[in-house]
Amino acid sequence: MENKGITILGIESSCDDTSAAVIRDGMILSNVVANQRVHEEYGGVVPELASRAHQQNIIPVVETAIKRAGIDRNEISAVAFTRGPGLLGSLLVGTSFAKGFSLALNVPLIEVNHLQGHVLALFIRENGVDYNPPKFPFLCLLVSGGNSQIILVRDHLHMEVIGQTIDDAAGEAFDKCAKVMGLPYPGGPHVDKLAKEGNPLRFEFSRPRIPGLDYSFSGLKTNFLYFLRDEIRKNENFVEENKADLCASLQYTIIEILLNKLKKAAKETGIKEITVAGGVSANSGLRNALMENAKKHHWNLIIPKFEYTMDNAAMIAITGYYKFLKQEFVEQSTVPFARTQL
C-alpha cells in the first residue's frame, strides 16, 4: 500500500462526550463530537447514563470520523484512546472499542492521558490555518469540569503538574454555583453570558488561602451557597433580581483565583510562554483577563481554538501521533484508570 503518512484514529470517552478524530502527520482530517443531552435534566453528569450513551454513540461517531477524513480504515497506523482520568464506565467503552478496532486492523494501540491531550491540543495543525504552537518550556493553565492545574510543559511528552486543586475544579465551581441559581447544566457558559450584563464588584466572595501554587474552590462554593440562602430568607426574589451581578461577581472571583496562582507560577519559573486549555478556557472573562496580564507581564499568550479546548478526540489523536513517533504502544491487557497525575 502507498505510504500516506502516520494516520492516527483518536477516541475520547472520558466523561459525557463521545468523540473520534483522525489526524495525519499532525494535521487534522476530522473531529466528530457527540454530546450527551441525557444529563441536562439531572443538573450534572450521571455516570451510568453516560456509559450507556457512549455505547450507542461510539460506532456511528467513529464511522463518521473516518468518512469525513476521506480515508480508508486500512490507512490507519494506530488507534489512540483516552485511558484516564475520567468516569470508569465511560472510559471502559472507549478503551474496549479501541482495543477491538486495533486488533481488527492489526495496528498498535496507544494510551493517552486526557490531561496531556488537553495540553497537546495546542499542537494540532489545520489546513489553511497559521500554525503557532507554544515554544518549550511553557506553562499551561488547564481548567475544565474536573481539573484545575498549572502544568509545566518541557516537551510534548514531558509535563509536570506544579499546582492543582485540592478539592473542586474551576468548572465545578461555575457549574455548582450556577445550579443553586437555577441555571441549566452545564452552568459555566450561562454564567459567562449573564456576567456580561452584571457588576463584578457588587458582591464579594471568599478567596482561598492555600500556600504554593495549588487551588481550592470548595470554600467559594459554600460561601456562595450560604450567601444566597441568607439573602433569599430576606427576599425570595433575590436571585432573580440580582442574577447578572451574582454571575459577574462569581466569575470575577474565580478568574482572580486562577490568575493569581498563574502569575505566581510565571514569576517563580521565569516562564513567559503561557497557554490555556480545558472547557473553562472558553470563558470570555478569563480570556480577557489573560490578555490583559499578557500585555502587562510581557507573556506570549497562546489560546487554542475553542473547538479544541472542550473534550474532543482530536487532542487524543495528536497525543497519539507524538507517542507513535516514540513507538510508545500498549498491550491489549491495558485497563483504564479513573484518577491519575500526569
Residues found near ligand KG4 in the complex (CB under 6 A): 15, 144-146, 171, 174-175, 186-189, 192, 278-280, 282-283, 310-311
Nearer to ligand KG4 by Cβ, of 24 and 190: the residue is: 190
* Residue whose CB is less far from ligand KG4, 145 or 163: 145
Nearer to ligand KG4, 61 or 71 (CB): 61
Rounded to whole angstroms, the Cα distance separating 204 from 41 reads: 31
Widest pairwise Cα distance in the chain: 74
Least separation in angstroms between CB 25 and ligand KG4:
26
Q: Minimum Å distance from CB 150 to ligand KG4?
A: 16
- How far apart, in whole angstroms, are the C-alpha atoms of residue 293 and residue 134? 17
Query: Are 95 and 299 within 8 A, CB to CB?
Result: no
Nearer to ligand KG4, 78 or 141 (CB): 141
Cα(89)–Cα(166) distance, rounded to whole angstroms?
A: 24
Query: Which CB, 86 or 163, lies closer to ligand KG4?
Result: 86
- CB 52 to ligand KG4: min, Å: 18
What's the grid cell of residue 130?
497559521
Smallest distance from ligand KG4 to CB 187, Å: 6
Dihedral of the CA atoms 29, 284, 267, 170 (nearest 10)? Answer: -90
Smallest separation, CB 35 to ligand KG4 (Å): 10
Q: Which residue has the cell 493569581?
A: 260
Buried b (16+ CB within 10 A) or exposed e, 178-213: bbbbebebbbbbbbbebbeebebeebebeebebeeb
